[in-house]
Amino acid sequence: MNKANRSSEAASVNLSELLARVDNDRALLCELLSIFKREFPDHLQALRNAVAGNDADQAARVSHTLKGMLANLAVAKAAASASRLERLARAGEISSLGGALAGFEKDVQGLLPEMESYLAEARL
């Protein structure tokens, strides 16, 4: 897993926290990572669309979901920027959403490949 940690600067899952959360159940870990892999791209796209369309309600809903998923997988930094997005969207600060989204995208950069490598290792 060290390889994975090295390969991504921004994303970084807190692996020990995550393993504690699944009670060291590798099969469950795989399952959760697969759910994430399957659902994350759609949510991200929905968030981009909402921000582009100035739809604050939708942006709040999607960022709330993303925040929950990321927090459950112990990706603290990205969860915090999703939380910031949610807060701004709820406050109706549409003009700030674009910048916040850019920040979020930066934080989740490399997250999927990182998950992928955990998945590969966990399956061994």
Partner 1 sequence: MRILIADDDALSRRLLEKTLERANYEVTAVEDGRHAVEILSKPDAPRLALLDWMMPELDGPGICREIRKRRDQGYVYIILLTSKESKEDIVAGLESGADDYLVKPFDAEELKARLRTGERILHLENRLVEAREQMRFKATHDPLTSLWNRGVIMDLMGRELVRSQRERGCTAALLGDIDHFKSVNDTHGHLVGDQVLGEVARRLLLSVRSYDFVGRYGGEEFLIVLNNCRPDSAIARAEEIRKAICTRPIQTDAGLLGITMSLGVLLSSDWGRRPADELLREVDAALYAAKTAGRNCVRLAKREEPREVASAPQPAAERFR
DSSP 42-76: HHHHHHHHHHHTT-HHHHHHHHHHHHHHHHHTT-H
Q: Quick one: tokens of 11? A: 């994303």
Of the pair 39, 116, the CB lying nearest partner 1 is at: 39
DSSP 82-97: HHHHHHHHHTT-HHHH
State how far the Cα of 52 lies from the Cα of 120, in Å rounded to an integer: 35
Q: Tokens 């504690």 label which residue?
A: 20
Of the pair 9, 108, the CB lying nearest partner 1 is at: 108
Of the pair 35, 102, the CB lying nearest partner 1 is at: 35
The amino acid occupying position 9 is E
- For residue 70, the minimal CB distance to partner 1 (Å) is 9
- For residue 6, the minimal CB distance to partner 1 (Å) is 25
Residues that bind partner 1 (CB under 8 A): 21-23, 25, 28, 31-32, 35-36, 39, 61, 64-65, 67-69, 71-74, 83
Of the pair 2, 24, the CB lying nearest partner 1 is at: 24
- For residue 54, the minimal CB distance to partner 1 (Å) is 21
